[in-house]
Every structure is written in C-alpha cells, then in structure tokens.
A and B are shown apart, each in its own frame.
Chain A
Amino acid sequence: MAHDHHSGGHADTVEGHAMGEVHEHPTWRQYKWVALILTLITVVEVWAYYVPRFVASPAFVPVLLVMSAAKFAIVVAFYMHLKYDHKLFRALFVGPLIIAGGTLTALMFLFHKFVK
C-alpha cells in the first residue's frame, strides 16, 4: 500500500508505536474512498428494505447478509488496519469470530431458525 503523499507514512513513526509491527496505513484518500463505499453499501441496504418485491424474494436475506459482511470486512481491514498488521492480531480477532459464528449457526439450527 502506498505511503501517504503528505508524509513519510507510518514506518518512521515507530518511536511510540508497538514493536515489531512496522507497517503502513492507508492514505487519507483511501480512507475517504472506504467511507464512500461504506455509505453506498448502507444506502443500497436501506433502499432494498423499501422494495416490497425484493423483500419478498428469497434473495433478500442473503444479499443483505453479504452486504453487511462486506462492510464488516472493509472496516476491519482498512480502519482497524488488520490487513496491514501482524498476523497474531489477525488470529486474535478471526479465531474468536469463527468460534462465535459457529456457535451462532449451531444455535440457529438448534432452534430451527433455518426451517420454514
């Protein structure tokens, strides 16, 4: 990822930063684009909610879930810098997330939430 055009980037600000995790952060322009994409996805989500034909279709829930997951992943990757950070941080976040997701799915099956 490119350095910020305003500065030398993050690598030379290690002084007070965590050791062993010298990495570069997205630039201001990238942050702006990320915010725009997040806003657009949110607008599409809300718009979908107000389209009765789409709400009635079987695609409604999966499409909303995919859009939500995309927003989640974008924030985690770019704003939380997990894309650029040490793999231990990734493991500390993704590990519990997998356990939590598995538990959620199991509970939904247990309580027959996937059965019409």
Chain B
Amino acid sequence: MSAPAVPMQAHPPTSTGLDHRKVAIWAFIGSECMLFVSLISTYLIYKGRSVTGPFPHEWWCSSTKAMGFCAGESATHVVNSMRPILNIPVTSASTFVLLMSSLTMVLALAAVENRGKPGYAGRLLGNAGFWILATAILGATFLGFQAYEFTSFVHEGLTIRKNLFGSSFFTLTGFHGAHVSAGVLWLMTLYFIDKKRGLGPKDSLLVDICALYWHFVDVVWIAIFTLVYLIK
C-alpha cells in the first residue's frame, strides 16, 4: 500500500489556518510582557525607598549617610560624595544601537523573503546573511554597553545587594540583557544556517519568528529606558 501523496507545504493545515509556530511565538511574547511588567512594577514600587545610596538620580553622601552632595563640609565629605549613578549619554547610545538593530532585523527578513527577486538579487538589500550578522553585532554591542554600565556601577558601590534600587535595577536590566543574549545566539544560528545552505523564502517563517522575538526585546528596552533611566 502506498502512502497518500502529501503536498509540499511548510506546515500541515491547522484549525485556525495559522502556523502553530507563529501562534506560539506570539503567545510567548504575550507571557513575556507580563514577566517584564512584573519586573518593572517591582522597580517602580521600590523606587525612592532605598535607605542607602547610591541612587539613580540623586547625589548621596556616604559619610553623613544622607541624600545630597556633601561638598562644603570637609575634604573627606567631598571624596565620599556619590554622584547619581545612571549614565544617560551611554544608555542613550545603547538605546540607539538597539533601535538600529530592529531596522537591520526587518531588512534581514525582507532579504530572506525576496531572495533572488529582481531588485534584491546581487544587491546588499538582498544579502540576508549580512543583515542578520549586522543585527547580531548590534545586539552584542548593546550587551557591551550593558557590561560597561554594570561594571562601572559596581566600581561606584552599587551592587545587587547594596540597596533596593540595586536589587530591582540589576534584576530588571539583567533579565533584559539575558534575553538580548539569547537573541544574539539565535541570530548567529540563523547566520550559520544561511552560510551553510542559504536562507530563502521557504525559511521566512524561521526568520520571522526570530525577528518577532528581537523586536519584542527592543520594545521592552523602550519601556525600560523611559521608566528607569529618564523619569526621575
């Protein structure tokens, strides 16, 4: 008995008419929304409740254990002054990098979907590997900024155990950084697949799912940047 002919299709028909993998990634993103909102809520609830510095936006005198700059009292006090810990110029640059990575990600998806078509074939716009690698490099750059930020915070006396601000800040941004790291690994996997056999229109769903995850990581950072870094 011969098996019935199965039409060449990316995925068998489903009751919704939608590919389960795409439904799954959207459900996953929905659940991740709730995870990150819980972390952001924790940060906001603890905001301003730390009894010891350093603080995100305010000077703190470690000598008198009081908020504010300790200049004008003694040389020791000046030395013990702790400046506001958040470095807005550095974080703004990393935010820009992550926003640009979203642009390169959509270009990667467009390149995969339109591979070999007129206007794409033989052009940079149609080079999926280039755009995927560019996205991964931008993601890694963002992680570099975050590593620099975390290191400088520790040098300035802010650790995860120092105060409520440190605990909630490192937990929130650390979780986000872990998601970015996972995204970079995912992108590198796609890059090597592209190098090995070339990603084409039949693989567009694979890239689309990765792109959705990557953009989600970007939108989470958009919220964190405003709520944690800019709002005093």
Q: How many residues of B contact A (CB 8 A)?
A: 67
- Say yes or no: B226 contacts A4, CB within 8 Å: no
Given the known inter-chain contacts A46-B92, A92-B26, please indicate yes or no for A68 contacting B18, CB distance below 8 A.
no
Q: Given contacts A88-B23, A96-B31, are A15 and B202 in contact (CB under 8 A)?
A: yes
B145 CB to closest chain A CB, in angstroms? 15
Q: Given A18-B205, A64-B226, A76–B219 Cβ distance below 8 Å?
A: yes
Minimum CB–CB distance for B135 against chain A, Å: 12
* Stretch from B72-80, B113-121, B163-171, B188-196 at the A interface: B113-121
Q: Is B106 an interface residue (CB 8 A)?
A: yes
- B204 and A42 form a contact (CB under 8 A): no
- Does residue B88 face the partner (Cβ distance < 8 Å to A)? yes
Q: Which residue of A lies closest to B42 (CB)?
A: A107
In the complex the two chains form, is A25's CB within 8 Å of B99's CB? no
Number of residue pairs across A and B with beta carbons under 8 Å?
185
Q: Does B197 contact A (CB under 8 A)?
A: no
Q: Let me know if B230 and A13 touch, CB within 8 A.
A: no
Instruction: Check A7/B205 contact, CB under 8 A, given A17-B10, A89-B22, A93-B30.
Output: no
Whether the pair A75, B219 counts as a contact (CB closer than 8 A) is yes
B99, A35: Cβ atoms closer than 8 Å: yes
Taking the complex as formed, is B158 at the interface, i.e. its CB lies under 8 A from any CB of chain A? no
Given contacts A35-B99, A46-B92, A107-B45, A89 and B125 within 8 Å (CB-CB):
no
Nearest chain B CB to A19 CB, angstrom units: 6
CB distance B96 to A42 under 8 Å?
Answer: yes
Q: Is B137 an interface residue (CB 8 A)?
A: no
Give the chain B neighbours of A83 by CB distance below 8 A: none
In contact, A76 and B215 (Cβ under 8 angstroms): yes
Q: Choose among A64, A71, A99 the residue that contacts B34 (Cβ–Cβ < 8 A).
A: A99
Neighbouring A residues of B33 by C-beta, 8 Å: 93, 96-97, 100
> In the complex, A101 Cα to B33 Cα: how many Å?
9
Residues in chain B within 8 A of chain A (CB atoms): 9-11, 13-14, 16-19, 21-23, 26-27, 29-31, 33-34, 36-38, 40-41, 44-45, 88, 92, 95-96, 99-100, 102-103, 105-107, 109-110, 113-114, 117-120, 125, 200-205, 208, 211-212, 215-216, 218-219, 222-223, 225-227, 230-232
